Amino acid sequence: MTTVTVPTSPAVHPRDGRPAPRWAIRAAHLIPLVTLPSGLWRIALVAGVPVGAFEHGEPVHTAGWQSVYIVSLSVVSEAFALLALGLVQPWGEVFPRWLPWIGGRRVPPLFAEAAATAGGVAVTLIWGYAAWGVLVNGNDLGFSPAGFALLVTCYTPLLLWGPLLLAVTAAYHHRRCRD
């Protein structure tokens, strides 16, 4: 009987490819969904949909670079939220081939954990601070009561982004770094 040795690439590690826990997969898929309402609210604002925002008694209108910034903020936020899927999917274990110098190489778990942890802490602090400001100051932003309710409804899910990302990161650490 002949023994066949399967060659392994130096980029492959024995802990790579382990499936993520079902709860972590669900949480990672939930992250882009909790960022979506605020992004849609911002895009509606740029599109001229009456969202109840007023400036000097007139409905807020955006134009030029302000509109580009607001739409870009929505796109970038959603893109960062979608990166959480890389913590639970096999494609997140290898850098994309199109990246110069590192394309096709294994993502060092410490790099992924550090980036995800920093992101989770950052969005927790940012949206926690924003929520605290709304609780303390109330509707001092110039919104109609209905517009303020819509704003709060669309932005409140962002409070889940950081804790969900930190939980998924912990599952990633357990799967990729521990024996």
Structure confidence at residue 143 (pLDDT): 81
- Mean pLDDT, the chain, rounded, equals 86
Write out the H or E segment, with its range, that includes residue 108: none
Q: What is the pLDDT of residues 55-102, one digit of tens each?
A: 666 667 777 888 899 999 999 999 999 999 999 998 888 888 888 998
CA angle 91, 94, 99 (to 5 degrees): 110
Helix intervals (H) in 6-64: 22-47
**Backbone dihedral angles phi then psi of residue 106, each to the nearest 5 degrees:** -65, 135
In 77-99, which positions are buried (b, 16+ CB within 10 angstroms) versus exposed (e)?
bbebbebbbbbbeeebbbbeeee
CB 24 within 8 A of CB 88: yes
pLDDT band with cut points at 50, 70 and 90 for residue 5? very low
161-166 average pLDDT score: 98
pTM (predicted TM-score) = 0.83
pLDDT band with cut points at 50, 70 and 90 for residue 8? very low
Residue 12 has pLDDT above 70, yes or no: no
Structure confidence at residue 19 (pLDDT): 86
Q: How far apart are CA 7 and CA 34, in angstroms?
A: 42
45-55 average pLDDT score: 80
In terms of pLDDT, which residue wins out, 12 or 32? 32
What percentage of the chain exceeds 90 in pLDDT? 53
**Backbone dihedral angles phi then psi of residue 53, each to the nearest 5 degrees:** -90, 130
Which of 112, 115, 121, 118 shows the shortest CA–CA distance to 92?
112
Q: What is the pLDDT of residues 99-119, one digit of tens each?
A: 899 888 988 889 999 999 999
Locate 9 and state its tokens. 């690439």
> CA dist 127 to 67, 69, 133, 156, Å?
22, 19, 10, 8
pLDDT band with cut points at 50, 70 and 90 for residue 2? low
In terms of pLDDT, which residue wins out, 52 or 153? 153
Structure confidence at residue 3 (pLDDT): 55
Amino acid type, 166: L
61 contact partners, CB below 8 Å, separation of at least 6: 48
Q: How many CB atoms are located within 10 Å of the residue 22 CB?
A: 9
